[in-house]
Amino acid sequence: MISKKEIIDFFKDIIVILLVVFVIRTFFILPFQINWQSMYTSYYDGEFIIVDRFSYRFLHKPNRGDVIVFKPHVSQEKQYFLKRIIGLPWDKIKIEWWKVYVFSKSKNKFIELDEKYLSQENNKATYVSWDKWSHIYEVPEDSYFVMWDNRNHSTDSRACFSSCYIDWSTNFIKTDDITWKLFLDLWYFRISKFDFVHPALWIITKPKWFNTSSEYDYWI
């Protein structure tokens, strides 16, 4: 027969486990599943990722090249977006003839970004809009300019996340809207087939673990 002490100890263990899980999910990491091919080919639709909340809260500010999860405040259905930071506060970002540039204060000129993470289809194929070939975005204080890696098949800061037609819309996101930084890429796993083959792309997605391309150094 189970004693009263054993019952109390059992519930104590449950409470401790719940508290640990709560603390981890609140302050450290959280699992996500990607929905859509917006970051193709860096990340795929359906892949599981781990995002890190700790870094931006306690270690450092968001950096150029970081892949982040944030709240765009443009859709009730999609509360979180996954994108890459291109422009930092006070940056000048220029898109001209399909290329992306950032103004270098040290060199006093616009420098083209080396975006090796982009697919062949998307590399040097970034547009402003279908009727505009050049534009300069001046990032305000405490704000960021972000873009998808799948440049031709998604919406991002260039189009105010599909809301530029709304009066209050903006091309930028606030620091407070950045919730997590991508930490680990776990892969797409089909339990029914027990394999890692993506059902739509028919490619093998392997876990990147600590080789996750969650950040990029542009050397500008």
Residues designated catalytic:
38, 83
Spatial separation of the C-alpha atoms in residues 125 and 191, rounded to whole Å: 36
Number of CB atoms found within 10 A of residue 181's CB: 23
Answer whether 169's CB lies under 8 Å from 149's CB: no
3-state SS of 82-108 is EEEEEECCCCEEEEECCEEEEEECCCC
Answer whether 38's CB lies under 8 Å from 72's CB: no
204: three-class secondary structure by DSSP:
strand
φ, ψ dihedrals at 166, nearest 5°:
-90, 140
Spatial separation of the C-alpha atoms in residues 52 and 103, rounded to whole Å: 29
Please report the beta strands in the chain, taking only residues with DSSP state E, as ranges in sequence order: 29-33, 48-52, 67-70, 81-87, 92-96, 99-104, 109-112, 134-138, 143-147, 173-174, 178-187
Tell me how far the alpha carbon of residue 122 is from its chain's centroid. Answer: 17
